[in-house]
Structure 1
Amino acid sequence: MEAKKARESRSVTSIHVMPNDTNNHGTFFGGKLMMYVDNIGAIAAMRHARQLVVTASIDSVDFLHPIKAGSSVCLEATVTWTHHTSMEVFVKIITEDLMTGERTLCTTSFLTFVALGPDGKVVPVPKVIPESEEEKMLYDTAEKRYLHRKERRSETKAFVSKLTLNKPWER
């Protein structure tokens, strides 16, 4: 399988934040932003793998700057690294004040997607070739994030195995 350049997966979208997209503080709903993050990440992953993909994990989303009604949000996603069947996708979220043009990086996120073949089973994905300085930095630090995700997943499985599945209506 031939490796692909990171830029080949690059996906960008913009959203105009309207009042109905905001919470009682007048800022963009975090859950709605997450929906857009997952969507643009999936597009980048599908461009890279040219297969259907599913979201395996979202590392974290740290809201560093509020996104206000009337502004725009630009989401940019790129596949930064791959393992056998999984892809790490980096999403950068930039808000822009449409009246002043001021742009601010407000959030970043790493997601993991797994490629699926027509039968619904996992399939291998191409390796990534980083070119820009940012792509190289993300690529060089990806394996450490991968190992951290693997450990976190193992801890989550152990934690979940101890939970009970009570039926709330029987309490």
Structure 2
Amino acid sequence: MESKKARESLSVTSVHVLPNDTNNHGTFFGGKLMMYVDNIAAIAATRHSRSLVVTASIDSVDFLQPIYAGSSVCLEAFVTWSHNTSMEVFVKIIDENLRTGARQLCTTCFLTFVAIGDNGRPVPVPKVSPESEEEQLLFGSAEKRYLSRRARRQETKKFTKNLTLKKPWE
């Protein structure tokens, strides 16, 4: 399978933050932003794999700057690295004050997607060829993040074995 350039998966969207999109602090609901993050990342993963994809994990999201009503949020996503059937997608969230044009980076995050074939099973995905300085930086540190996620997943599996599934009122 031939590798693909990271920029081939680039996906960009903008959202106008309206008052009903905000919490009682007047800032963008984190959960609503995460919905947009997952959506744009899925588009990037689908462009890279040209197959159906499912979200396997979302790394930590640290909100660095608040996003207020009236601003525009630009989400940029692209595949930074791939393993056999999985892809790491980087998402950058930039807030723009529409009145002044001032832009600031609000957060970044990584998501992992798995490509799924028509039979519902994982399928191989192309390798990633980074070109730009940013793509090379992210590609160069991706395997370390992959190994960290894999270890975290194993810990989660161990931890959840001890959880009960009883109804809370029982």
TM-score, structure 2 normalization: 0.99
Q: Which residue of structure 2 lines up, in the alignment, with residue 111 of structure 1?
A: 111
1:167 Cα deviation (Å)? Answer: 1.3
- What per-residue deviation string (whole Å, max 9, x for no partner) do you get for residues 35-67 of structure 1? 000000000000000000000000111000000
- Distance in 2 (alpha carbons) for counterparts of 1:107 and 1:143: 21
Amino acid in the other structure paired with 2:133: E
Report the secondary structure of 1:169's partner residue. Answer: coil
Stretches of structure 1 that go unaligned for 5 or more consecutive residues are none
- Distance in 1 (alpha carbons) for counterparts of 2:166 and 2:118: 36
| Root mean square deviation, CA, Å | 0.5
Q: Does 1:55 align with 2:58?
A: no
Q: Which residue of structure 2 lines up, in the alignment, with residue 148 of structure 1?
A: 148
Q: Which residue of structure 1 lines up, in the alignment, with residue 101 of structure 2?
A: 101
1:166 Cα deviation (Å)? Answer: 1.0
Q: Does 1:26 align with 2:29?
A: no
1:125 Cα deviation (Å)? Answer: 0.1
- Distance in 2 (alpha carbons) for counterparts of 1:137 and 1:162: 39
- What per-residue deviation string (whole Å, max 9, x for no partner) do you get for residues 105-164 of structure 1? 001010000000011100000000000000000000000000000000000000000111
- What per-residue deviation string (whole Å, max 9, x for no partner) do you get for residues 45-90 of structure 1? 0000000000000011100000000000000000000000000000
Q: Does 1:13 align with 2:13?
A: yes
Q: Which residue of structure 1 lines up, in the alignment, with residue 68 of structure 2?
A: 68
What percentage of residue pairs aligned between the two structures are identical? Answer: 77
- Distance in 2 (alpha carbons) for counterparts of 1:100 and 1:168: 50
1:169 Cα deviation (Å)? Answer: 3.5
Runs (4+) of structure 1 exceeding 4 A deviation are none
Stretches of structure 2 that go unaligned for 5 or more consecutive residues are none
TM-score, structure 1 normalization: 0.99
- What per-residue deviation string (whole Å, max 9, x for no partner) do you get for residues 1-40 of structure 1? 1100000000000000000000000000000000000000
